[in-house]
Amino acid sequence: MPEIKVNTAEASEAFTTLQDSINSFSEVSQQIPAGITDLKTIDDLREIQEIYSGLLKSYVDVLERVEKQGRDHIKDMEDTDEQLSQQSS
């Protein structure tokens, strides 16, 4: 009888590691220096920081969607496995 084997503990650990990485991006984005004497340079750095922050937010959003989809797929496989095991009983 077909069987889907899912190591949920391993998948959960991987998603936890992914979430830790996502959280560390938020911490890094707040550590960008913003104090230089030349006003033009400060303006340029602020613009770069805004671009970087926007890109980082987009990246984190994608990672969070991937994590949710991965968890959903694991759940779907568990449900399918449960249904298959009930059919073979």
Inform me whether the pLDDT recorded for 42 exceeds 70.
yes
The region of weakest confidence among 39-48, 51-60, 70-79 is: 39-48
Q: Tell me the CA distances in angstroms from 45 to 24, 37, 39, 42, 80, one per residue in order.
A: 22, 12, 10, 5, 52
Q: 36 falls in which pLDDT band (50, 70, 90)?
A: very low
Inform me whether the pLDDT recorded for 23 exceeds 60.
yes
Per-residue pLDDT at 31? 63
Taking the model in full, what pTM does it have? 0.54
DSSP-derived letter for residue 34 is -
Per-residue pLDDT at 67? 92
Mean predicted confidence (pLDDT) in 44-50: 91
Q: Report CA dihedral (67, 72, 74, 79) to the nearest 10 degrees.
A: 170
